[in-house]
Amino acid sequence: MTQDPDKIRCDACPVMCYIAPGQTGACDRYANHEGRIVRCDPVTILSRTIGQGGRVVPFAGPAWDGEVLRPADVFVTGIGAGTTYPDYKPAPFIVSSVVDGADMVTVVTEAIFSYCGVKVKIDTDRFLGPEGAAVRAAGEAVGHVTTAEYGSQMLSLGGVHHLTGGSKAEGRATCAAMLALCNGEAVTLTVEQGAEVVVQAGRAPVVDGRTETRMRVGCGSATIGMFATMWRGLVDEVVVVDDHITGVVSEHQAGKVLGWAATGIRIKGHRSTPGRYFRVSEPGLGWGGTRLTDPLDILGPWDAGRGARPGLTLLMVSTTGEDHAYYVLDEGLRPVRRDLPAALDATVRLIDENCEPSLCTVLFMAGAGGSLRAGVTTNPVRLTRSVQGRETRLTAGGAPCYVWPGGGITFMVDVTRLPRGAFGHVPTPALVAPVEFTLPRAAYLALGGHEGAIRSIEDIAATGGEFAVSGRLDRWPVAGP
């Protein structure tokens, strides 16, 4: 088949697209502009003196106002910079700067990550699905439910096996879901044997159509430990219903210390320690993350020999305070629901006040491999050791990263700390993320760094780069939503 002579080949990633004039490649990141491959998105340059919203200016053009850039004040990010592919090339921008009198170098690139994923923290007690259950987007498995944490459910999405180890549809769905989440967009996920949840970084989760507003103040036992004193003298018994540990104030150590009288209450569940019960219900979307819609379902017959009596009062409340009910025992020692007294209403509202807003947190996680490191230094293992030794500071789009101990450069970053639209993709499929390595110039040269590729910010503004045709000035540091 004869190749169209007007098309030119893009070597910015392994796909190696042939791009027609005025068109973009499969990734929508590179285009054929007048016979030259250009990067469609501007390089993002962060500055402490730039107002919110920023502005785009051309590199290597007469409209560039060089006075805007103050080298000591700006940070060139990998957003829009281009990649190191083919692997033998130095990173697109290796920038010299002076920070507090020290000569520094920042190596700037966009990395193509097949080995990447997102970790999602969802603040809710609602049951999302059993641990290990598949999580689906657009009908395809894109991850799984992992361990529940205190007041939150956790998902692990993406990874190389979902991206490239399954079907094409699975890989595309995984890439699309991760890209949207990393760029701050909402994604609808379904959990096998569980819930449908809408996730968006920095926003409240929506579980089965219901927007979560608060995460629990603590488990049932912890809630009693915090608030037992405020209930004393107002009510005879308090049960805090929770999926993990349901608390009973009269039996709890906090109640014992306060001299709480026994009430003869009986809880259907696995007693752990006094006043603390496991497995009072299966997990669900009801009270305290249980399946309960009627909290009385966890109560057995009251024991008159252990303090139960007609007129005894009972408050049952969830760990967020949103579910609560007040009862009085009748002559047959059966709890009868009554209106909540004003004094007890204030205690329920205090639980609510102590709950934090429910949010979704999205952390991008990736491993920086050989091709990325080759764009930094001719001896890649030295970069790994320098990052692990904290001589080299790793950032992503200017945002601080957590680097995992051990071998390799495995890092995580909160996506809300990056400018919007910082992540891209290639159709292999894989995600593209900005990374920057900053270290003293002498240390960079000792790594075997590409000395001939080091440039000043003024030179970058004047002459541009291999792909970049413009720069975006934005605020630094980036604040979360």
Of 105-109, 114-118, 273-277, 462-466, the one with minimum mean pLDDT is 462-466
- b (16+ CB within 10 A) / e for 435-454: bbbbbebeebeebebbeeeb
Amino acid at 426: V
Contact 447, 382 (CB under 8 A): yes
pLDDT given for residue 1 in this prediction: 46
pLDDT tens-digit profile of 310-359?
Answer: 999 999 999 999 999 999 999 999 999 999 999 999 999 999 999 999 99
Residue located via tokens 């005894």: 312
Stretch 460-468: mean pLDDT, rounded?
74
Q: Which residue has the higher pLDDT, 4 or 20?
A: 20
Contact 105, 440 (CB under 8 A): yes
Give me the percent of the chain exceeding a pLDDT of 90: 72
pLDDT given for residue 481 in this prediction: 47
Going through 133-230 in order, the beta strands assigned E by DSSP cover 134-137, 140-145, 152-158, 187-191, 196-199, 206-207, 210-211
CA dist 311 → 40, 251, 296 (Å)? 74, 19, 17
pLDDT given for residue 58 in this prediction: 64
pLDDT given for residue 5 in this prediction: 76
Give dist(CA 265, CA 11) in Å, integer: 73
Q: Which tokens hold the place of 191?
A: 């959990």
Please say if the pLDDT value at position 67 is more than 80.
Answer: no
CA dist 148 → 47, 151, 155 (Å)? 39, 8, 9
Q: Which tokens hold the place of 89?
A: 């090339």
Stretch 7-13: mean pLDDT, rounded?
86
3-state secondary structure 352-395: HHCCCECCEEEEEEEEECHHHHHCCECCHHHHHHHHHCCCCEEE
pLDDT tens-digit profile of 197-235?
Answer: 999 999 999 999 999 999 999 999 999 999 999 999 999
Helix 220-231 with 342-353: angle, nearest 10 deg:
140
Pairing label, strands 93-99, 276-278? unpaired
Stretch 433-452: mean pLDDT, rounded?
96
Amino acid at 374: A
Give dist(CA 474, CA 73) in Å, integer: 12
